[in-house]
């Protein structure tokens, strides 16, 4: 075996070392480390760059058709129980390594510009590096326990990064919400792993799958139980990949700095769920009911995300719901058995969505110089408009991303989404209709986003818009005002609302500006795969599927399958491009030419408008049910504890003893009393055991 495989463990270890060095520096020599800003970032970026080069080498080697490589060492043992850790390099792992390191590398370069003035610059790089390391560890995991370990570690990094600006209340709430919601998924994942271990005595992906199949086939365990385990495992991806009903954390996660939203909450970590389904695919595939659950969850999430994204005004929130929707596509693809289509979309989405998010960060960065460092203004698309004039590079790349996600050929998203839709149609036409409609909605809201942000007139200095946004914000803070009504309280609230700016200066009077090269360069680089990477997976010659396919599956290329499949492709592709074009046309009419007034439509269907605007009220329902419910339960438990448990045990004389009178009595004759009790008890016990 080639020596590069023996050193593949370096890939996660290099960024880890970077994080450790910088982290220790921050802990022990805080001031000096912070002063050496770019020395730290250069160290971390170059370590990751090395990991990236290494990943490409491995990927190349796998592409040449080399055998997958696994290496293990014993990590824990107790008696006969042995648990190994290690790494595996196979086509799937090598592909994920390349995606993760590439996106992370570009995001890190971008971060230098985006976080340039932030006092937490160095800490941010340390977290980024730690995250990259955990994510890389996850994708090369050879068994379920190691997956679980890194699964939780990426969750922790996400927690740290969402809460990066710890003085903001919204960030503090969001990071906790993200962690706890993910823990609910992990709870399922752990139970699933335990259940599978109980049934199969193994943590190995393939062994679990084959043994489980045998067990079900021989009737040793009922099929329903196997399905239950599979669905429990699937709960993990549901949380991590923001699938309904555990998607609520992802939009809130946008409180973190934008590079994080691009890296973790769009391109890599959230795709981990899809990755895990892919790893466990042989198991899922054998359990049809689990596959049904997966595909429907994915389809519903795709639609839910898209339906909410339509009405969002915060550019990052809009992108977040779009991420959720696209992840729904991937999960749906897995659920209908389209293994390589799902992973293909994972790859294309990682590139174009990272670019879109980084683009939104560039927009926000530019807007901040115009409207100040208040996230509520800088991220609201109603304040934007006409930015193409000020930031042409960002606008260009954002347009590429928008075309890609809308499924317009030859951009990357077209090929992958079309492959998913084709496979779904073959499996279940109802699911296909959902996916198909969602594709149209996607094109509409993405172009709405693009037009609102980059076309038309700049609205950053429009005080009426500002006022509307402020009112909305106050309302969400729990102060309900009538629309447009001035409330005297508002004036007293206002000063407290002024966000504490980390920079201390206000540039309100400036125009938006294009971002520095360190930010636009990654955008331009990402535009290349966003445009072209889809070509590796065309139905004419699907190189991607030839490389990545489900274990034990033989690949039949469409071109070889004959003309029939290709003509089918033309029909499918034509119709999905068609619906995208419809969506785009409506967006043009509404937001570019302003021929249709969006608010008139909203007024006609107030129920649906409010449902979408309020995110289907899911947050409110969860808040009532789970957040308040758990607090109430906890308070009741404590009440029982202090009144009943403490009371009963304290009773039997203790309560009176504690209050004083009895204590005196006992203290006088304590020793005798003690001895008496012991004597009687021993006597009783000996006699009792002698009698029986």
Partner 1 sequence: MMSTQFPWLTTIILLPLAASLFIPVIPDKQGKTVRWYALSVGLADLVLMVYAFWKHYDFQNPGFQLAESYAWMPQIAINWSLAIDGISMPLVVLTGLVTTLSILAGWKVTEKPRLFYFLMLVMYSAQIGVFCAQDMIQFFLMWEIELVPVYILIAIWGGPKRLYAATKFILYTAISSIFILVAALAMAFSGDHVTFNMTELGLKEYSLTFELLAYAGLLIAFGVKLPIFPFHTWLPDAHGEASAPVSMILAGVLLKMGGYALIRMNMEMLPNAHVFFAPVLAILGIVNIVYGALASFAQRNLKRRMAYSSISHMGFVILGLASFTEIGTSGAVLQMVSHGLIAAALFFLAGVTYDRTHTLDLDELGGLAKKMPMVFALFTVGSMASLALPGMSGFVGELAVFLGFTTSDAYNPTFKAVVVLLSAVGLIVTPIYLLSMLREVFYGQEGKAVAGEFLLDAKPRESFIAACLLVPIIAIGLYPKLITQTYDVKTVQIAAHVRNSIPLVAGKSPDDLAHFSVAPNLSISSPSRLLGIVK
Instruction: State the residues that interact with partner 1 by CB under 8 A.
Output: 27, 30, 74-81, 145, 148-150, 152-153, 156, 159-160, 163, 166-169, 171-173, 175-176, 179-180, 183-184, 186-187, 190-191, 194-195, 197-198, 201, 630-631, 633-635, 637-638, 641-642, 645-646, 648-650, 654, 657-658, 663, 674, 677-678, 681-682, 685-686, 688-689, 692
SS (H, E, C) 256-292: CCHHHHHHHHHHCHHHHHHHHHHHCHHHHHCCHHHHH
Q: For residues 232 and 319, which CB has a smaller minimum distance to partner 1 in the complex?
A: 232
Round to whole Å and give the CA distance between 350 and 269. Answer: 10
Q: What is the DSSP string of 61-74?
A: HHHTTPPPEEEEEE
Q: Tell the smallest beta-carbon distance from residue 291 to partner 1 (Å).
A: 24
CB of residue 627 to partner 1, shortest distance in Å? 9
Quick one: 183 or 507, whose CB is closer to partner 1?
A: 183
Closer to partner 1 by CB, 147 or 286: give it.
Answer: 147
Q: How far is the CB of 201 from partner 1 (least distance, A)?
A: 8
- C-beta neighbour count of 496 within 10 angstroms: 6
Task: Give 166 or 540: the residue with its C-beta nearer to partner 1.
Answer: 166
In degrees and rounded to multiples of 5, residue 86 shows phi and psi of: 160, -150
Residue closer to partner 1 (CB basis): 194 or 582? 194
Q: What is the DSSP letter of 616?
A: G
Q: In three state form, how does the secondary structure of 534-598 look?
A: HHHECCCCEHHHHHCCCCCCCCCCHHHHCHHHHHHHHHHHHHHHHHHHHHHHHHHHHHHCCCCCH
CB 152, min distance to partner 1, A: 5
- Residue 89: φ, ψ to 5°: -120, 110
Give 249 or 296: the residue with its C-beta nearer to partner 1.
249
Residue 379, helix vs strand vs coil? coil
**What is the C-alpha separation between 351 and 103, in angstroms, rounded?**
7
- Structure-token pair, residue 62: 């796998």
Secondary structure string (H, E, C) spanning 454-478: HCCCCCCCCHHHHHHHHHHHHHHCC
Separation of alpha carbons 97 and 79, rounded Å: 35
What is the number of other CB atoms lying within 10 angstroms of the CB of residue 180? 15
Closer to partner 1 by CB, 373 or 448: give it: 373
| Least distance in angstroms from the C-beta of 623 to partner 1 | 14
Answer whether the bond into residue 410 is a cis peptide, omega within 30°: yes
| Cβ at position 172, least distance to partner 1 in Å | 3
Beta carbon nearer to partner 1, 150 or 329: 150
Please choose, from the candidates 89, 88, 97, the residue with its C-alpha nearest in 3D space to the C-alpha of residue 64.
89
Name which of 172 and 465 has its Cβ closer to partner 1.
172
| CA angle (229 as vertex; 223, 233 as ends), nearest 5 | 145
Distances (CA, A) of 55 to 147, 548, 624, 686: 19, 16, 46, 73
Instruction: Compute the radius of gyration of the chain from its Cα atoms.
Output: 29
Whether 278 and 233 have beta carbons less than 8 Å apart is answered as no
Smallest CA-to-CA distance from 442 within 321, 295, 592 is with: 321
The nearest distance, CB 359 to partner 1, in angstroms, is: 29
The distance of closest approach from Cβ of residue 489 to partner 1 in the complex, given in angstroms and rounded to an integer, is: 19
Using DSSP, state whether 508 is helix, strand or coil. Answer: coil
Q: What's the CA gap between 22 and 28, in Å, rounded?
A: 10
Closest among 537, 355, 313, 338 to 427, alpha carbons compared: 338
* Alpha-carbon distance values, 386 to 285, 372, 392, 401 (Å): 49, 18, 10, 18
Round to whole Å and give the CA distance between 483 and 479. 12
Is the Cβ of residue 216 or residue 381 nearer to partner 1 in the bound state? 216
CB of 678 to partner 1, least distance (A): 6
Closer of 64 and 692 to partner 1 (Cβ): 692
Which CB sits closer to partner 1, 621 or 683?
A: 683
Q: How far apart are CA 300 and CA 318, in angstroms?
A: 18
- How near is the Cβ of 246 to partner 1 at its closest, in Å? 12
- Could you tell me which residues come within 8 angstroms of residue 578 by beta carbon, excluding any fewer than 6 positions away? none
Q: Which is nearer to partner 1, 485 or 671 (CB)?
A: 671
Q: How is residue 481 written in tokens?
A: 């005002």
Nearest-approach distance from CB 360 to partner 1, in angstroms: 25
Give the residue with the Cβ less far from partner 1, 65 or 79.
79
CA distance 368 to 350: 27
Nearer to partner 1, 478 or 562 (CB): 478
Quick check: 99 and 275 in contact, CB under 8 A? no
Please, what is the minimum distance in Å from the beta carbon of residue 674 to partner 1?
7
Quick one: 181 or 295, whose CB is closer to partner 1? Answer: 181
Q: How far is the CB of 470 from partner 1 (least distance, A)?
A: 20
């Amino acid at each position: 075996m080639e020596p590069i495989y023996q050193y593949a463990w370096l890939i996660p270890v290099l960024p880890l070392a970077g994080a450790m060095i910088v982290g220790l520096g921050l802990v022990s020599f805080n001031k000096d480390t912070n002063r050496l800003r770019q020395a730290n970032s250069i160290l971390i970026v170059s370590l990751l760059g090395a990991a990236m080069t290494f990943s490409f080498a491995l990927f190349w080697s796998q592409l040449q058709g080399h055998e997958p490589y696994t290496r293990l060492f014993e990590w824990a043992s107790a008696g006969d129980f042995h648990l190994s850790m290690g790494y595996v390099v196979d086509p799937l792992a090598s592909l994920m390594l390349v995606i993760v390191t590439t996106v992370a590398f570009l995001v890190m370069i971008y971060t230098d510009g985006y976080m340039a003035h932030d006092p937490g610059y160095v800490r941010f790089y340390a977290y980024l590096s730690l995250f990259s390391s955990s994510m890389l560890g996850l994708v090369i995991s050879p068994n379920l326990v190691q997956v679980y370990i890194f699964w939780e570690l990426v969750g922790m990094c996400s927690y740290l990064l969402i809460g990066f600006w710890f003085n903001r209340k919204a960030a503090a709430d969001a990071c906790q919400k993200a962690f706890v919601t993910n823990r609910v998924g992990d709870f399922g994942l752990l139970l699933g792993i335990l259940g599978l271990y109980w049934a199969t005595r193994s943590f190995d992906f393939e062994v679990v799958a084959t043994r489980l199949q045998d067990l079900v086939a021989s009737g040793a365990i009922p099929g329903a139980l196997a399905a239950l385990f599979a669905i429990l495992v699937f709960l993990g991806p549901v949380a991590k990949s923001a699938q309904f009903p555990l998607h609520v954390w992802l939009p809130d996660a946008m409180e973190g700095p934008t590079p994080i939203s691009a890296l973790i909450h769009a391109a890599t970590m959230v795709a981990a769920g899809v990755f895990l389904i892919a790893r466990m695919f042989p198991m899922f595939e054998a359990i049809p009911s689990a596959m049904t659950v997966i595909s429907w969850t994915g389809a519903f999430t795709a639609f839910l995300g898209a339906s909410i994204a339509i009405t969002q005004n915060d550019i990052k929130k809009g992108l977040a719901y779009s991420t959720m929707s696209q992840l729904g596509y991937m999960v749906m693809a897995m659920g209908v058995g389209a293994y390589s289509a799902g992973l293909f979309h994972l790859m294309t989405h990682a590139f174009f969505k990272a670019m879109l998010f980084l683009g939104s960060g560039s927009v926000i960065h530019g807007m901040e110089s115009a409207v100040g460092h208040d996230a509520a203004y800088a991220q609201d698309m109603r304040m934007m408009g006409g930015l193409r004039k000020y930031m042409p590079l960002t606008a260009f790349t954002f347009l590429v991303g928008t075309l890609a996600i809308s499924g317009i050929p030859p951009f990357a998203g077209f090929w992958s989404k079309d492959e998913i839709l084709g496979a779904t149609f073959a499996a279940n036409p109802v699911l296909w209709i959902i996916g198909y409609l969602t594709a149209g909605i996607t094109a509409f809201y993405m172009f709405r986003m693009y037009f609102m942000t980059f076309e038309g007139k700049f609205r950053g200095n429009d005080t009426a818009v500002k006022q509307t946004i402020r009112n909305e914000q106050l309302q969400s803070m729990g102060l309900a005002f009538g629309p447009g009504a001035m409330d005297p309280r508002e004036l007293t609230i206002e000063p407290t609302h002024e966000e504490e700016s980390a920079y201390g200066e206000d540039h309100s009077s400036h125009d938006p500006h294009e971002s520095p090269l360190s930010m636009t360069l990654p955008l331009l680089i990402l535009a290349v795969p966003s445009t072209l990477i889809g070509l590796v997976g065309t139905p004419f010659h699907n190189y991607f599927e030839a490389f990545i396919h489900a274990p034990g599956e033989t690949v039949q290329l469409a071109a070889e399958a004959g003309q029939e499949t290709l003509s089918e492709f033309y029909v499918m592709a034509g119709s999905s491009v068609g619906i995208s074009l419809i969506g785009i046309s409506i967006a043009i009419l509404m937001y570019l030419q302003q021929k249709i007034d969006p608010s008139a439509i909203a007024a006609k269907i107030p129920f649906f408008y409010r449902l979408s605007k309020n995110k289907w009220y899911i947050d409110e329902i969860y808040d009532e049910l789970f957040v308040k419910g758990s607090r109430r339960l906890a308070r009741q438990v404590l009440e029982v504890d202090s009144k009943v448990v403490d009371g009963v045990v304290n009773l039997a004389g203790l309560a009176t003893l504690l209050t004083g009178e009895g204590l005196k009595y006992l203290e006088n004759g304590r020793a005798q009393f003690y001895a008496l009790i012991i004597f009687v008890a021993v006597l009783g016990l000996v006699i009792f055991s002698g009698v029986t």
